[in-house]
Amino acid sequence: MGLTVSEIRDNTTRARHLYQRTRQQHFAVGAFNIDNQETLIAVARAAQKLNSPVLIEVSEGEVKALGLENVRDLVDNYKKEYGIEAYLNLDHSPTVESCKRAIDAGYEFIHIDISQANHDASEEEIITKTREVVEYAKFTGALVESEPHYFGGSSNVHTEEIDYEEIKKTFSTPEGAGKFVEATGIDTFAAAIGNLHGKYPVPKELDLELLERIRSAIDCGISLHGGSGTPLHFFEDAARIGVSKININSDMRYVFRKTLEKVLADNPDEYAVVKLMPEVYQEVQAVVEEKIQAFGSASKAVL
């Protein structure tokens, strides 16, 4: 059942209050991707256990698999069942139209990522389409996130090394961040400081000095995508500096798959899938709990 406009606006107001708390109390809220109900259960249980606010997010492929409105209903149901502070984020949406649909469905956070569909999109095109989403979001109060260029990697397990000299070419700059935020009016700037989508054979390294300069250059929220495979101390420092949101996907997918493989091997004669899944979402929950502790969001929920 869909939310009323009044309910949506109440939720987005609470979401904005959460963002204010992240800045005032120096913690980051975790944004955790789901592509099945088991992962949603894992995130909800971790949030309940640690009394942490969470963002539950879906990207284009996950929306196609689960359904935009279905995810809204699932999150609302588990929010009530577990008594948690949780919000919905549309992650890396490649079109203005899909962003508008999510805003209408009551998603509190919207990430418009024009360069996702077209890596060579001009900054002018990105700004124009981002502004269109920002204007549309004013009706519900949804918070809009964007970035001025393509963000590398993919939410998967990679075997290649990270070419940091190549990655550095796409790093955000304080000047560029300031101009982009001013031109678009976004609520969240997706910074690139060494974070990279996916899980790699070597740990990621974040340029915290660059992050501090970006933080000084803009007033809006800052997000870090590609949080998987990052040593936890970087998250602790990023939250202290002023990052409000950190995205996690591949670490959860990896544990989900590896645990499921083990459970299937251990139970070759069990065909009731529901009996196989508890161990899987328990292990995914452990990953979410680890991130929540590093982000500093434990005990920060406001219900």
| Residue 87 phi, psi (nearest 5) | -135, 165
Partners of 161 in the β-ladder: none
Domain presence at residue 300: no
- Domain containing residue 19: 5-295
* C-alpha to C-alpha distances, 170 to 2, 125, 164, 192, 229, nearest whole angstrom: 40, 18, 10, 7, 19
Tokens standing for residue 138: 């004013």
Distance CA(247)–CA(263), nearest Å, equals 27
* pLDDT recorded at residue 271: 97
Tell me, yes or no, if 91 is annotated catalytic: yes
Within the chain, which residues score under 50 in pLDDT? none
State the residue for tokens 């590896």: 258
* pLDDT recorded at residue 167: 78
Coil/strand/helix, residue 60: helix
Domain presence at residue 303: no
Domain presence at residue 187: yes
* pLDDT recorded at residue 153: 60
State the residue for tokens 């936890």: 232
CB 285 within 8 A of CB 46: yes
* pLDDT recorded at residue 117: 79
Q: How many domains does the chain have?
A: 1
Which residue among 76, 91, 207, 251 is the active-site one? Answer: 91
Domain presence at residue 99: yes
CB 26 within 8 A of CB 239: yes
CATH number at 74 reads 3.20.20.70
Domain presence at residue 42: yes
Domain presence at residue 247: yes
Distance CA(33)–CA(253), nearest Å, equals 9
* pLDDT recorded at residue 144: 98
What single letter denotes the amino acid at residue 267?
Answer: N
Domain presence at residue 92: yes
The overall pTM is greater than 0.85? yes
What single letter denotes the amino acid at residue 106?
Answer: G
Domain presence at residue 302: no
* pLDDT recorded at residue 43: 98
